[in-house]
Amino acid sequence: MHDRIFAGITLLLCCVLAVAAWGYSAPFSYEPVGPKAFPLLLLLLIAAGAVQLLFKPATESHGEEPPMSREVVVKVTICLVMMGLYAALFETLGFILSSVMFGIGMGRLYGGRWPQSLISGTALAICLYLLFDKALDVPLPLGILSSLEN
């Protein structure tokens, strides 16, 4: 029940924030899609998750959530370290390489086999780069791959 309340409140907040972001305009813009595209896309993803959580089938167990295990704490810590490394290496390595490394690491962290993690991490990084850089014309750093540009 608490997860549905959380989902409802999250969905309501997404709607309020989307209305606020819709009217936003900056006096300058270095991106053709404007400054409101990113928050609106992010709110759309959060809202989709909230809708899924709101309408998911009820679970069988009615007890309390199990306590945090050592395995969960280790995974969360590794995930936070990987996010920090991603942010630290983003400019130096560039979007594609840092995203490939992050995607592979996350895939392996949550049980993916090496081939699956390599393929999905690489495909996701390249597709996101093409989406942002080519389709939305949002410049992303290429880092050490900058010699491949034009």
pLDDT tens-digit series, residues 82-128: 999 999 999 999 999 999 999 999 999 999 999 999 999 999 999 99
Lowest model confidence (mean pLDDT) among 11-20, 23-32, 131-140 = 23-32
Domain edge (last residue) among 10, 43, 65: 65
Domain edge (last residue) among 65, 94, 113: 65
Residue 51, Cβ density class (10 Å: 0-12 exposed, 13-18 middle, ≥19 buried): middle
Burial 94-112 (b: 16+ CB within 10 A, else e): bbbbbbbbbbbbbbbeeeb
Specify whether 2 is located in the same domain as 59.
Answer: yes
Reported as a single tens digit per residue, the pLDDT across 16-63 is 999 988 887 766 666 666 667 778 888 899 999 999 988 887 665 556
Specify whether 53 is located in the same domain as 90.
Answer: no
Neighbours of 14 (CB within 10 A): 20
Specify whether 54 is located in the same domain as 80.
Answer: no
Look up the domain containing 97 and give its range: 69-150
Torsion sign over Cα 139, 141, 142, 148: positive
Q: What is the mean pLDDT of residues 72-87?
A: 93
Domain edge (last residue) among 16, 32, 65: 65
pLDDT at residue 139 in the model: 81
Query: How many domains is the chain partitioned into structurally?
Result: 2
60 compared with 140, residue with greater pLDDT: 140
Specify whether 134 is located in the same domain as 106.
Answer: yes
Which amino acid is located at 78 in the chain? I
Specify whether 43 is located in the same domain as 77.
Answer: no
Specify whether 31 is located in the same domain as 99.
Answer: no
Specify whether 137 is located in the same domain as 73.
Answer: yes
Specify whether 88 is located in the same domain as 48.
Answer: no
pTM, whole model, 2 decimals?
Answer: 0.65
Specify whether 59 is located in the same domain as 73.
Answer: no
pLDDT at residue 80 in the model: 94
